[in-house]
DNA sequence: CTGAAAGCGCTTACAG
DNA sequence: CTGAAAGCGCTTACAG
């Protein structure tokens, strides 16, 4: 019941703890015979090195921390999967915390992880986060920090992102190319960089096509638990406010699916009356009727890349070298489905 | 850059390490003055106790391990959320691993966690797991183990479950009560206990209502990434094989939604031609048209209860008392929506 | 109220 | 090829 220690093995074999330790780690300066003896006994006794002692000596825990705004979310859970799969391959374990989009919680959790002495931190910041001192703190602690998806531009660490502005531009351009003239936008909250960038991409596409930007066509969604309901609600509002709208670029697929549901109930034909482009390529977007045209956002890939970058920095740090922050941008692409019309020939 | 230690604080204040340690932990036998001095300095130096050393002394890591078959899954991600929220409240951190429904991976990961010396383990076992020695090993190690949702009956540990058989019975009974006479079942894989239990509940409901059980009406789904597609496929098969089927009880909502999609494409009217009851009450089931009648399976609650039980056992163990395994059964309920007809009056 | 000392279980530089 | 010793940074029983 009580765990076996090196000392016990040493006593049984009547050799030193040093030799046992070396034998188990296959040091070249231990005889084959001794190694065999030690290994066999370790096996029979089911010896497991005490990680706490190892950590204390080596000053690393082979554990990283991950803070994410919301776990029950298809995009984020894909990212998590990418991270832990990759981490496991490299011998790292991942502690996961959920900030619930709250700045206070995020701050507290970051402290928790730092106290726990994880080797590095992966984070996607909360919508509520506008002050970044807690993130700088990680860097001051000398720990690698990699942000992904929801990042803070001003923090000088590595980041794995997509070009939200470009993706949104393409989404909007697609609506224009398929004949839409009066295009609304359901955007995300005001603070997070990606909902700002998606909004700016939308706006730029309009301007580049000589379509006047009308702020009354922009609707805000919190994009929390209620995304689906918000989509329904905003869909109804658009119809009331602007009977001439013929296309909508929507911040996330979940909201888009809410909107589609409402439009179907109200007898609005998609894409004939109103075309819709979503964002994220959640698998339900190919399941709903009509299937949703959307921007494919590679979650699993993003998680994988984020861990890989953190791992690189972990190794750089071990060599006592300086970390040079890197911005990694993943490609997105438009997936054409049935909520938009075919592209007009000209 | 290098972390501050108790020793450094002691040297600066010219007192002993012992006193510093005690002052920080608010021992009653340290003078107020000393306490103040120590705390202030600790604060300015941004002292953080070295958890590795603390772990080594206290023999606990305040960390638990969680193994789950699949993270990108609404039910499981809800469970995770319940677990980590509850754990955080009690000062525990959670390391999450994904078994990918593979026995080999699950076994390897369990070993990993045991080596890491987590204080306890929470697990939902893989579909591929038929041998339970790796689970017994946890118990032999003297570590608390709590299983949830997908459990192994023979392992003598605490379990948090729902009564799958009863829930499936109720689902099937509802189909019968709403007038269905020829009821098919899309079941899960052969091995896991819950898909067996759901099947048995289905069968029993038929028998209790004097409806003959016909094995050709039972279709198997892997219920992995392809659930949605499997639902579509099986829906088509049912129509080909049995034109007289008027109701289907389906193992999971995702598969059910696939089936609904296929039926709509094929012009089958739901619930007029075929009624459907799903399982899990995934939020999409209230978003799809028609909204899906289903069994509500409380994921978040299950996670919360599972951690609470583990926490209790952790405390029991600290008191050197023996753990008495407990089976905790959560209530499920049928959520009536539009894929079933109103209940017949008689 | 304060502190010297032992010890948690390992690793590794050093001596022989 | 083997081992004594120091040390990682803390906690706690014990002495004064």
- Whole-number Å distance between alpha carbons of A61 and A92: 9
pLDDT > 90? residue A273 = yes
In B, which residues are within 8 Å of A74 by CB distance?
Answer: 72
CB B5 within 8 A of CB B50: yes
Structure tokens at A200: 């700016």
Residues B162-174 have a mean pLDDT of 98
pLDDT of residue B287: 81
Residue B210 at interface with chain A, using a CB cutoff of 8 Å: no
Going by C-alpha positions, the residue among B131, B279, B122 that lies closest to residue B195 is B279
Most confident residue range from A27-36, A120-129, B166-175 = B166-175
Would you say residue A283 has pLDDT above 90? no
Q: Is there a single domain that holds both residue A257 and residue A310?
A: no
Q: Let me know if residue A341 belongs to a domain.
A: no
> Residue A292, CB half-sphere, CA atoms under 13 Å: how many?
31
Q: Which of B248, B286, B298, B294 is nearest to B268 (CA)?
A: B248
Q: Which residues of A touch B257 (CB under 8 A)?
A: 287
- The alpha-carbon gap from A137 to the nearest alpha carbon of chain B, in Å, equals 11
Angle, helices A6-13 vs A17-24, to 10°: value is 110
> Does A124 lie in the same domain as A238?
no
pLDDT at B331: 97
Q: Within 10 Å of residue B236's Cβ, how many Cβ atoms? A: 15
Rounded Cα distance between A135 and A6, Å, is: 40
> Greatest CA span in chain B, whole angstroms?
89
Sheet holding B293-296, edge to edge: B218-220, B183-187, B247-250, B275-280, B293-296, B333-335
Q: Which structure tokens are listed for A252?
A: 């996330």
Average pLDDT over residues B89-104: 95
Is A157 found in the same domain as A137? Answer: yes
Give pLDDT tens digits for A315-336: 998 887 889 999 999 999 999 9
Q: Which two tokens stand for residue B233?
A: 């496929």
- Whether residues B95 and B200 share a domain: the answer is no
CA distance A229 to A236: 11
A303–B contact, CB cutoff 8 A: no
The residues in B 218-237 lying below 8 A from A, measured between CB atoms, are 228
| B190: its two tokens | 């052969």
Return the biggest CA–CA distance within chain A.
Answer: 89
Q: What is the pLDDT of residues A26-69, one digit of tens each?
A: 888 888 888 898 899 999 998 999 999 999 988 999 999 999 99
Q: Are residues B33 and B102 in the same domain?
A: no
Instruction: Say whether both A126 and A32 belong to one domain.
Output: no
Strand D and B32 CB separated by under 7 Å: no
What is the DSSP track for A83-137? Answer: HHHHHHHTT-EEEEEE-TT-HHHHHHHHHHHHHTT-SEEEE---TT----HHHHH
The token pair that represents B110 in the structure block: 């369990």
Among residues A124, A141, A203, which one has the least CA distance to residue A171?
Answer: A203
In terms of domains, do B255 and B187 share one?
yes
Q: Are B147 and B170 contained in the same domain?
A: no
Q: Which two tokens stand for residue A87?
A: 């981490």
B98: contact with A, CB 8 A cutoff: yes
CB proximity A25–strand D (7 Å threshold): no
* A190-199, A283-292, B191-200, B241-250: least confidently modelled range: A283-292
- Same domain as B227, residue B126: no
The answer, yes or no, to whether residue A346 has pLDDT greater than 70, is no
Residue B260 has pLDDT above 90, yes or no: yes
Kindly list the strands in the beta sheet with B145-148, ordered across the sheet, starting from the edge strand earlier in the chain.
A327-330, A158-162, A145-148, A120-123, A63-68, A93-98, B93-98, B63-68, B120-123, B145-148, B158-162, B327-330
Residue-wise pLDDT tens digits, B312-342: 999 998 887 889 999 999 999 999 999 999 9
- Asked whether residue A30's C-beta has any atom of DNA/RNA strand D within 7 A, the reply is yes
| A1 has a pLDDT exceeding 70 | no
Q: Quick one: B309 and B205 in the same domain?
A: no
Strand C: protein residues, Cβ closer than 7 A: A 3, 5-7, 17-18, 21-22, 24-25, 47, 49-50, 52-54, 56-58; B 15-19, 22, 28-34, 53, 56-57, 59
| Among A residues 118-177, those touching chain B with beta carbons less than 8 Å apart | 142
Quickly state the pLDDT bin for B163 (edges 50, 70, 90): very high
Do residues B141 and B74 both lie within one domain? yes
What is residue A30's predicted lDDT score, i.e. its pLDDT? 85
Are the C-beta atoms of residues B80 and B300 closer than 8 Å to each other?
no
B80:A61 CB<8 A:
no
Query: Structure tokens of A192?
Result: 């997070």
Question: Binning pLDDT at 50, 70 and 90, where does residue A287 land?
Answer: confident
pLDDT tens digit sequence for B138-155: 998 889 999 999 999 999
On whether the CB atoms of residues A254 and A316 are closer than 8 A, the answer is no
- Distance of alpha carbon B199 from alpha carbon B179, whole angstroms: 20
Residue A238 covered by a domain: yes
Cβ(B101)–Cβ(B224) under 8 Å?
A: yes
Residue A339 falls inside a structural domain? no
What pLDDT is attached to residue B346? Answer: 60
With CA of B25 and C1' of each nucleotide, the nearest comes out as D11
Cα B278 from Cα B335, distance rounded (Å): 10
Q: Does B194 share its domain with B272? A: yes
Res. A278: pLDDT tops 90: yes
**B54 assigned to some structural domain:** no
Chain A within 8 Å of B63 (Cβ-Cβ)? Answer: yes
B1 interface with A at CB cutoff 8 Å: yes
Find out whether A225 and A270 touch, Cβ atoms under 8 Å.
no
B255 within a domain of the structure (yes/no): yes
For the domain that residue B155 is a member of, what is the CATH number? 3.40.50.2300
* Rounded (5°) CA angle B31-B37-B43: 130
Structural domain containing residue B323: 59-161+299-331
| Distance of alpha carbon A279 from alpha carbon A171, whole angstroms | 8
Number of domains in chain B: 3
Question: For position B226, what pLDDT does the model report?
Answer: 84
Which residues touch A212 (CB under 8 Å, ≥6 apart)?
Answer: A206
Confidence band for B1, pLDDT divided at 50, 70 and 90? low
């Amino acid at each position: 019941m009580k765990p076996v220690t090196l000392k016990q093995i040493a006593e049984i074999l009547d050799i030193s703890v040093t030799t046992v330790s070396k034998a188990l780690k296959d040091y070249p300066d231990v005889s084959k015979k001794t190694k065999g003896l030690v290994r066999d006994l370790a096996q029979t006794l089911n010896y497991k090195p005490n990680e706490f002692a190892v950590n204390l000596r080596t000053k690393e825990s082979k554990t990283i921390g991950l803070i994410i705004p919301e776990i029950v979310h298809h995009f984020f859970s894909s990212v998590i999967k990418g991270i832990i799969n990759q981490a496991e391959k490299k011998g790292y374990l991942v502690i996961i915390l959920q900030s619930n989009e709250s700045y206070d919680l995020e701050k507290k959790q970051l402290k928790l992880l730092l106290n726990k002495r994880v080797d590095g931190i992966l984070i996607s910041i909360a919508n509520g986060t506008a002050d970044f001192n807690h993130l700088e703190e990680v860097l001051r602690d000398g720990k690698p920090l990699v942000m992904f998806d929801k990042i803070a531009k001003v923090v000088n660490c590595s980041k794995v992102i997509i070009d939200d502005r470009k993706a949104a531009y393409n989404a909007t351009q697609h609506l224009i190319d398929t004949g839409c003239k009066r295009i609304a936008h359901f955007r995300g909250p005001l603070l997070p960089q990606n909902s700002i960038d998606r909004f700016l991409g939308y706006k730029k596409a309009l301007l580049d096509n000589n379509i006047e930007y009308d702020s009354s066509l922009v609707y805000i969604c919190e994009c929390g638990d209620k995304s689906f309901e918000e989509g329904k609600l905003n869909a109804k509002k658009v119809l009331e406010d602007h009977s001439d709208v013929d296309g909508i670029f929507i911040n996330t697929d979940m909201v888009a699916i809410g909107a589609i549901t409402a439009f179907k109930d109200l007898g609005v034909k998609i894409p004939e009356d109103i075309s819709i482009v979503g964002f994220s390529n959640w698998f339900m977007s190919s399941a709903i009727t009509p299937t949703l045209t959307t921007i494919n956002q590679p979650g699993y890939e993003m998680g994988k890349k984020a861990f890989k970058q953190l791992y690189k920095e972990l190794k750089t740090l071990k060599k006592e070298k300086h970390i040079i922050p890197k911005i990694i941008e993943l490609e997105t692409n438009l997936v054409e489905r049935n909520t938009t019309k075919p592209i007009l020939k000209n």
